[in-house]
Amino acid sequence: MSALARFFKSSGQAVFGYDRFQSELCKQLESEGMKIHYEDDIELLSKKIDPENTLVVYTPAIPNDNLHLAYFTEKGFNLIKRARLLGEIAAEQNCLAIAGTHGKTTTSTLLAHLFRANGKNISAFLGGISTNYQTNFWGSRKTEILVAEADEYDRSFLNLKPEAAAITSTDADHLDIYGEENSLKETFKTFADSVTELLLIHENSGLSDGLRYGLSADAPYRAQNIRIENHQYTYDLVYPQGQINDIKLGLPGRYNVENSVAAAGIALHYGLSEVEVKLGLESFKGVKRRFEYHIKQEDLVYIDDYAHHPKEIEALALSIRELYPAKKITAIFQPHLFSRTRDFMPQFAESLGLFNEVILLDIYPARERPISGITSAALLELIPSENKSLAARQEIINRFSKEKPEVILTIGAGDIDQLVPNLKMSLLK
């Protein structure tokens, strides 16, 4: 949504908005000249807006009983879902899309960076804030290539008709929308069928139409000779037309090595040279809230990550363990959605059990109402670890102002990022 807001603002349009709370991103949009309010109260709407010259963009996260939505519908405003709007914008350019239940934000941001870092004029609509550029949008309707993050929630990505795409994973998620895993898989197949030129599929995606990428020796696009040098992943990239040796990736984790292979594969297909791809991969600084270091000292490491699915948490835990094998790892996790916690509770417990210590916050409800019996306390009981607890935010701040962990993580897709500034300050005291 914020990328679309920036798109219209850059086109000279007045942008107004509503959100549930004032996040750091909302504050940034306000500083860029957009007017945002945070109460579901139509009296707060600008008196300047009228149905004749206003487009109302909304997401599936807006509940049906939202007063804004009811008002705009009743007054005859032109309403459009975020995904359909992005599809209309993307249809005007050559769309390169990244889809997948995990990894799509990092991979799409990396792909956009590969072009931008090498002076190519493209547009990018991303689901996270690029650390290199401190934004999730750049470009205009006049560029030839548009890089888009293709979101599977609410089948949104079916509004895109990409020329090229990568599918990073198809693990079960959003079962509140899809009902069962097979329905999700079929929707990914439908998305794959819409790609007109180049489709890269992760080797474990369960899809068959497309060129495979990953770490296996027989994948046409693959990373090999992976090693860690000075807490940094280094590898050789093999693709059908050649090989790029000794890439020093600025991102941690083998899953990010795989993400970089997908982004590089598309970039090479669209004309970037091996030298340009290597320079781009090595200069990429990542995405906000994706394995984001806030403290990186020899005796203290603090990382914040958006992981909110068991597979993502497992990949995060294994990567941390590979980078810091001798350290005690403490994870603070905020479950996201009652339905997701219910659907994957045993898997969440197993992945969280990979950390030395686990601290749980209450479930972040987002668009949902509570589900009986689905609580952080119920999840805690299933975690196979003795060192586990429930805690409120202030308790965490108080504890770690006195006690210094070796490696600590905040994990989740809700509002746990609001804990970051105070926790960092406490840790550095």
- The 10s digit of each residue's pLDDT in 210-240 is 999 999 999 999 999 999 888 789 999 999 9
- pLDDT of 172 higher than 80: no
DSSP conformational letter for 295: E
Q: Which of 59, 82, 105 is the last residue of a domain?
A: 82
Q: Who has greater pLDDT, 183 or 294?
A: 294
Structure tokens at 420: 């970051």
Long-range Cβ contact pairs of 87-90 (< 8 A, separation 24 or more): 87/159, 87/160, 87/161, 89/7, 89/125, 89/141, 89/146, 90/125, 90/146, 90/148, 90/160, 90/161, 90/162
CATH number of the structural domain spanning residue 47: 3.40.50.720
Residue 115, pLDDT above cutoff 90 = yes
165 has a pLDDT exceeding 80: yes
129 with 276, same domain: the answer is: yes
* Cα 107 to chain centroid, rounded: 9
| Statement to judge: residues 194 and 307 lie in one domain | no
pLDDT of residue 174: 60
Q: Are 96 and 70 part of one and the same domain? A: no
Instruction: Collect all residues with Cβ–Cβ distance below 8 Å to 271 and sequence separation of at least 6.
Output: none
- Whether 308 and 382 map to the same domain: the answer is yes
Q: Which residues contact 55 (CB under 8 A, 6 or more apart)?
A: 78, 80
In CATH, what number is assigned to the domain containing residue 418? 3.90.190.20
Residue with tokens 């329905």: 183
Structural domain total, the chain: 3
Other C-beta atoms within 10 Å of 91: how many? 12
How big is the chain by its Cα radius of gyration, in Å? 22
Examine the domain organization and report whether 62 and 202 are in the same domain: no
Task: Could you list the beta-strand ranges (E) of 61-159.
Answer: 78-81, 94-99, 122-130, 135-138, 145-150
Write down the pTM of the prediction.
0.86
Tell me: do 77 and 98 sit in the same domain. Answer: no
Q: What domain range is 155 assigned to?
A: 91-283
Span 73-81, mean pLDDT? 94
* Span 394-414, average pLDDT: 95
Indicate if 63 and 204 belong to the same structural domain. no
Q: What is the pLDDT of residues 302-319, one digit of tens each?
A: 999 999 999 999 989 998
Max alpha carbon distance in the chain (Å)?
Answer: 63
Structure confidence at residue 182 (pLDDT): 81
Q: Per-residue pLDDT for 94 more than 90?
A: yes
Using CB atoms within 10 Å of the CB of residue 235, give its burial: 0 to 12 exposed, 13 to 18 middle, 19+ buried.
buried
In 10 A of CB 241, how many CB atoms?
8
Query: Which residue matches tokens 């500083």?
Result: 31
Residue 37 has pLDDT above 90, yes or no: yes
Beta bridge partners of 303: 293, 409
Q: Render the burial of 103-135: b for 16+ CB within 10 Å, e for the rest.
A: bbbbbbbbbbbbbbbbebebbbbbbbbbbbbee
